[in-house]
Chains A and B, each alone.
Chain A
Amino acid sequence: MMKNILRALNAENTENQRKIVSFGDSSLVEAPGGRIWTFASIAFLLLLWILSGTFGWVNPLFWPPIGDVWHQLNVIASEGYRNATLLEHIGISVYRVLMGFLLGCMVGIPLGFALALSKVMNRIFDPIVEFFRPMPPLALIPLVILWLGIGESAKIFLLFLAALWIMALATRSGALSTNIAKVYAAYTLNANKRQILFRIILPNALPEIFTGMRVSMGVCWGTVVAAELVAAESGIGMMIMVASKFLSTDIVVLGVILISLVAYAIDIFMRIMEVRLIPWRGKSS
């Protein structure tokens, strides 16, 4: 498991390193100390946080001491927050993000292929995509309440919108990046359209689709906090919003850290999947 994670973390680095080497400066490849610098930067930030709390450098209303946040974690983990346990809050937020994300992929990826591969589809959907893409889903919150109410569907719909356009565009650009020579080569080998799509275009588009997935996952986590502002009863976003109304900065910071950790865990999982599923990433052109 650990090995996989490290491999995933390194996957991008080795790729970059190779490119750097071809420019001739091999000293950059073996960064002295390597991973130590990562831990050093985290340790430095933690130390700064501890010291600033101990010596009262920062007004706790602006940034709480680390002890307060730890205390809140213990309190909320044991007593819950607003009629739900901490795990329930995390669970419901993860559920919303995953549902919105999966629905976004289910619609966005086929849409992206349609945009890339069919002139007619492109003419039909391009203006729609380009019209809605720049619109932040948060601006639609009041409308979404009126249409869908305040239940789960409204929140998932907002996250769906957040993921949809990113996935459509990533897929389109992935599909369009397919080297046309490969398509001709496949045709000369008597491949049919179906085979071209699944054997040539899809594998070529997958790296970009995966990048799109990771980007949209990040955007979904950003949106869920605001989506849970809509009639929130549970979720980490609701925890942050309600705590901010009572100036409980410690709970706000705790919520932010929890979201970052969960989102980071999911991102690492996706990197592992990426290494496993598309070993050809960066090796074809």
Chain B
Amino acid sequence: MKTIHKIAAALLFGTISLPSFALDELNIAYFLEWPSANQVAQLEETFDKRMGLKVNWRSFDNGNAMTAAMLAGDIDIAYSQGFVPFVVGVSKGADLKLIGVAMTYSENDNCVANKSLDITQENAKTKLVGKRIGTPTGNVTHYKLLRMLDHLGVNKDDVRILSMSNADASAAFVRGDVDMGCGFGGALNRMKKEGSLIMTGAEQEAIGLKVFDIVSVTGDFAEKHPDVVRQFMQITEDANLAYNRYPERFYSVLSKASGMELEDTIDTLGKFTFLDKSEQLSTQWMLGGIQKFTKEVADFFVEQGQLPRSLSQEQYDKTIDAGFLAEVR
């Protein structure tokens, strides 16, 4: 019934905003098979206790769906939304705000090529022509793939890019239906067992590819419930600090929270970096770096014909708000 009201409101007024009301439930989006330090707090219901709210954690399998759910008003805070879906969303005029960096993970998102093809960075230019590549679209993986092809001198029209979900890409790669599979998390681990990387995460970072997930909220929610957003950031910061000090203490809890085997959890966590407040509030990240990178990613997608147009640097600057993080103790 609530949904019907929202749709009616959206159709009538072109916006989702309902009259301001006291918040009694908080809906947070997150990824399965994507362990994060604050999931300890998720499992122990720290959020519920400290905020005095009922917190619902809803799992997603791609960041674009998170954007859609936030626009529909069903998600208030997205934790670990991909950076690229955020860029796509705000470029299309979605009212989203980036309020923090969830984790960085250049080694945990990559493309794997079939071993028998023997593709290296040097011969990719000729060997990749006409090959089938399975990848999710409109996300970090897609962006990394396009940037990598660009870097290796491969024209994206010379390869056949098949759009599929993360899990499907790994299934198709393992079956040998695609010559290269791109993905993240558990799917990437499965693919790595069968194939080889063309570029390592570190090498991709060297050509200017930042890979990170973000914390995002709708502009509307940030305006109406700043206290809730601030508390969320505080609890997350506390969890990050605790984890960074003694990561091994949290492995078993996080394995349960993320729905992964203990071994895979440790492996995945090993490739994540959880930045604390002082690291995030630097010119490399929230105070300039991300702003510039947002424009870069959007422009690249426009150049590749994936987005019709990008916004100006000033407009992108407005979508990034370090204010909540700055108030964290």
Contact = CB atoms under 8 A, between A and B. Distances in A.
A148 to B, nearest CB: 9
A7 to B, nearest CB: 38
Interface stretch (B35-43, B88-96, B317-325): B88-96
A231 B172 contact: yes
Nearest to B174: A146
A134 B163 CA distance: 29
Interface string B51-69: 0000000000010100110
Contact of A247 (B14, B64, B168): B64
Contact of B160 (A58, A61, A151, A233): A233
| Interface secondary structure of A, over-half rule | loop
Interface in B123-150: 134, 136-139
Given A59-B14, A232-B164, 6 more contacts: A61-B92, A142-B168, A149-B177, A231-B134, A246-B307, A247-B67
A110 to B, nearest CB: 32
Contacts of B308: 248
B175 A246 contact: no
B162 A233 contact: yes
A245 B92 contact: no
A242 interface: yes
A145 interface: yes
A61 B94 contact: yes
B71 interface: yes
Interface string A61-86: 11100000000000000000001000
Contact of A231 (B10, B12, B168): B168
Interface in B11-65: 11-15, 62, 64
Contact of B171 (A142, A232, A245): A142
A150 B177 contact: yes
Contact of A150 (B92, B139, B164, B306): B164
Contacts of A245: 62, 64, 88, 136-139, 163
Contacts of B162: 150, 231-233
Nearest to A81: B305
Given A59-B14, A245-B138, A247-B94, A149 B163 contact: no
A56 interface: yes
In the A-B complex, the 3 residue pairs with the closest CB atoms = A245-B138, A247-B92, A59-B14
Interface of A: 56-63, 83, 141-142, 145-146, 149-151, 229-233, 238, 241-242, 244-248
B157 A59 contact: no
Nearest to B138: A245
Interface residues on B, range: 35 or more
Nearest to A143: B171
A156 to B, nearest CB: 16
Contacts of B191: none
Nearest to A141: B168
5 contacts: A145-B168, A150-B162, A231-B164, A242-B138, A244-B64
Interface in B84-119: 88-89, 92-94
B172 A145 contact: yes
A247 B306 CA distance: 11
B164 A230 contact: yes
B94 A231 contact: no
A56 B138 contact: no
Nearest to A154: B177
A83 B167 CA distance: 25
Contact of B88 (A57, A63, A229, A247): A247
B178 interface: yes
A61 B172 contact: no
Contacts of A141: 168
A248 B306 CA distance: 10
A60 B164 CA distance: 26
Given A83-B157, A232-B163, A246-B88, A61 B93 contact: yes
